[in-house]
């Protein structure tokens, strides 16, 4: 039962969907505050490369190496997003151009590749890998076993974070303030909410989550380094935020759907389905376009709009 095609797809959907959940959630929080960070991919790659480097060079117990590697990835993501926040929040630079700058700077042919070459990371496979738990000894239970009871720590963390984010957004006043900052910063400011502080904080949280999402690639999916290991996942995470109407719950579902589509190629090929690999490889991107088209054109547009001030710098008209 557990090796049926459906279960296998679901399991790998979870595997490839988790970084999308983490990075998407970070971007969701930033965008709820009105900051669009197109540099997600770069922060993921930087998280991936620094986490991998650390886990390779750290002398100590495996669990500690992994834990510290994840923390370092988060810190790197925070550092990069702080620079980004300074440029777009304080200096009010254009968010599309600045996001792309971040992408070129940190991305596949930028700093992440440089760091990897300095650390001579390419080639050897990693010493440490996040292991799946066998929760309550239920990992062999039919269907739910492999899906729910035998995942690694970051999967469980991502579930917790989604629930936390939903609670934060809808049930706390700080969450309410964040939404106000993203919808109407002028009014929020007039009501004494520090727009810049909210935007900084959530952009930086977004950066931390993107860094961890990157670490997931080199610590959980495949502990080895190749340049551009994320292969556009950062962009899919950004698209997911839109297609999930900026709602954490929907983001989780969407991420796993994309995870399944991403893994469709390997899974079917392993089962002897003979189709050109390019067709499967293009599926996530085609699906993203379709999803964004449907959301932005049709019925979704009226009910769930983007944060009204998304991508727009805010300047108080004051002395």
Partner 1 sequence: MTAAGAPTRDQDRHTVSARGVTKAFPGVVANDGVDFDADRGEVHALLGENGSGKTTLCKILTGLYRPDAGQVLVGGDTVAFRSPADAYEAGIFMVHQHFSLVSSMTVAENVVLGWHRDKGRVFNRRQVEEEVARAAERFDMHIDPRAIISRLSVGERQRVEILKALYRGARTLILDEPTSVLTPQEAEQLFVSLRRMAAEGESVVFISHKLDEVTALCDRVTVLRHGRVSGSADLRTSRVDARGLARMMVGRDIAFSRRSRVDALGDSEPALELRDVSAVEAHGTLALHEVTLSVRPGEILGVAGVSGNGQVALAEVIAGLRKRTAGDVTLQGKPLPSGNPRAAADRGLAYVPEDRLGTGLAPGLTVADNCVLKAYRQRELGRGPFLSRIRILARTRRLLKAFDVRGTAESLVRQLSGGNAQKVLLAREISSEPQVLVVATPTRGLDVSAMESIRSILLEAAAGGAAILMISEDLAEILDLADRIAVISRGRIQGVLEADGADPTQVGVLMMGGSLEDTGVAAP
Partner 2 sequence: MLRLPEIHFEKRLKPPRWLGPAMPPIAVLAALIIGGLILWASGRDPIDIYQRMVRVSFTNPGALSATLVAATPLVLTGLAAAITFRMKVWNIGADGQLMIGAVFASAAGIALDEQGLAVSMTVMIIAGMVGGGLWAAIPALLRVYLNTSEVLTTLMLNYIAPLILFYLIFSTTSYWRDLTTEGARVFPRGKTILEGAFWPEYGGGVVVPFGFILGIVLAVLLTVVVRSTRFGFQMRVSADSPTAGRYAGIRTARLLVLVMVLSGAVAGIAGASQIGDFSHRLEPKILQFAVFGYTGIAVAALVRYHPLGVVVSAILVGALSNAGLALQGPELPLGLIGVNQGLILLLVAASEVSARYKVVVGRRPRTGHGAQQAGGDLDGGPAEEPASGGVS
Contact positions vs partner 2 (CB under 8 A): 36, 38, 83, 87, 90-98, 100-118, 196-197, 200-201, 232, 235, 238-239, 242, 276-279, 281-282, 285-286, 288-289, 292-293, 296-297, 301, 305-306, 310-313, 315, 317-319
Indicate the SS3 state at residue 244.
Answer: coil
Pair 25, 205: CB distance under 8 Å: no
Residue 33: CB minimum distance to partner 2, A = 13
Q: Is 153 in contact with 130 (CB distance < 8 Å)?
A: yes
Among positions 60, 192, 272, 298, the unique one binding partner 1 when judged by CB under 8 A: 192
- Measure the CA dihedral 204/51/270/11, to 10°: -50
For partner 2, which is the closer residue by CB, 163 or 286?
286
- Least distance (Å) between residue 31 CB and partner 2: 9
- Smallest gap from Cβ 156 to partner 2, in A, equals 29
Residue 122: φ, ψ to 5°: -65, 145
Cα–Cα distance between 211 and 237 in angstroms, integer? 13
Interaction partner, residue 177 (partner 2, partner 1, none; CB < 5-8 Å by kind):
partner 1
Instruction: Please report how close the Cβ of residue 290 comes to partner 1 at its closest, in angstroms.
Output: 24
Q: How far is the CB of 96 from partner 1 (least distance, A)?
A: 18
Does residue 199 belong to the site contacting partner 1 (CB under 8 A)?
A: no
Residue of the chain from 138, 190, 273, 289 that contacts partner 1 (CB under 8 A): 190
Binds partner 1 (CB under 8 A): choice among 180, 229, 239, 240: 180
Contacting partner 1 (CB under 8 A), which of 193, 221, 253, 283?
193
Other C-beta atoms closer than 10 Å to the C-beta of 15 total 21
Beta carbons of 10 and 73 less than 8 angstroms apart: no
Does the CA dihedral 263-14-215-69 come out positive or negative?
A: negative
| Pairwise CA distance, residues 196 & 4, whole Å | 51
Asked if 191 touches partner 1 (CB under 8 A), the answer is yes
- Which structure tokens are listed for 303? 């009910």
Closer to partner 2 at the Cβ: 5 or 104? 104
| Residue whose CB is less far from partner 1, 41 or 183 | 183
Q: Stretches 115-123, 124-132, 183-191, 251-259: which one binds partner 1 (CB under 8 A)? A: 183-191
CA 267 from chain center: how many Å?
23
Residues 81-95: b if buried by 16+ CB within 10 A, e if exposed: beebbebbbeeebeb
Closest by Cα among 4, 64, 7, 3 to 260? 7
**Chosen from partner 1, partner 2, none, partner binding at 6 (C-beta under 5 to 8 Å by type):** none
- Touching partner 1, residues 134-173 (CB under 8 A): 171-173
In the structure encoding, which two tokens stand for residue 216, read together? 């997931």
Would you give the binding string for partner 1 spanning residues 252-281, x where CB under 8 A is met? ------------------------------
Q: Is 186 in the site for partner 1 (CB under 8 A)?
A: yes
Q: Are 184 and 308 in contact (CB under 8 A)?
A: yes
**302 is an interface residue for partner 1 by CB under 8 A:** yes
Q: Identify the residue whose tokens are 């959980």.
A: 220
CB 35 within 8 A of CB 10: no
Binding residues (CB under 8 A) for partner 1: these are 171-177, 179-180, 183-184, 186-193, 302, 305, 308, 318-319
């Amino acid at each position: 039962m557990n090796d049926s095609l459906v279960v296998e797809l679901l399991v790998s959907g979870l595997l490839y969907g988790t970084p999308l959940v983490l990075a998407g959630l970070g971007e969701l929080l930033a965008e709820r505050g009105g900051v669009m960070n197109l540099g997600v991919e770069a922060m993921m790659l930087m998280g991936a490369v620094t986490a991998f480097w650390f886990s390779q060079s750290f002398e100590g117990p495996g669990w500690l190496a992994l834990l510290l590697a994840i923390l370092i990835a988060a810190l790197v993501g925070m550092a990069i997003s702080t620079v980004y926040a300074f440029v777009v929040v304080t200096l009010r630079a254009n968010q599309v151009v600045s996001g792309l700058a971040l992408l070129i700077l940190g991305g596949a042919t930028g700093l992440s590749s440089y760091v990897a070459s300095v650390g001579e990371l390419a080639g050897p496979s990693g010493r440490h890998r996040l292991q799946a738990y066998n929760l309550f000894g239920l990992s062999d239970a039919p269907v739910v076993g492999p899906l729910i009871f035998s995942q690694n720590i970051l999967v469980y963390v991502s579930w917790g974070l989604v629930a936390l984010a939903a609670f934060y957004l809808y049930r706390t006043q700080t969450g309410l303030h964040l939404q106000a900052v993203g919808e109407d910063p002028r009014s929020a400011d007039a009501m004494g909410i520090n727009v810049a502080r909210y935007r900084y904080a959530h952009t930086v949280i977004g950066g931390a989550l993107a860094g961890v999402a990157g670490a997931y690639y080199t610590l959980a999916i495949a502990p080895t380094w190749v340049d551009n290991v994320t292969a556009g996942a950062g962009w899919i995470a950004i698209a997911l935020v839109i297609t999930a109407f900026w709602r954490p719950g929907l983001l989780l579902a969407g991420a796993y759907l994309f995870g399944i589509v991403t893994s469709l190629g390997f899974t079917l090929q392993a089962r002897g389905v003979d189709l050109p690999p390019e067709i499967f490889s293009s599926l996530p991107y085609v699906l993203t376009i379709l999803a964004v088209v449907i959301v932005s054109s049709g019925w979704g547009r009226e009910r769930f709009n983007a944060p009204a001030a998304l991508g727009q710098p805010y300047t108080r008209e004051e002395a």
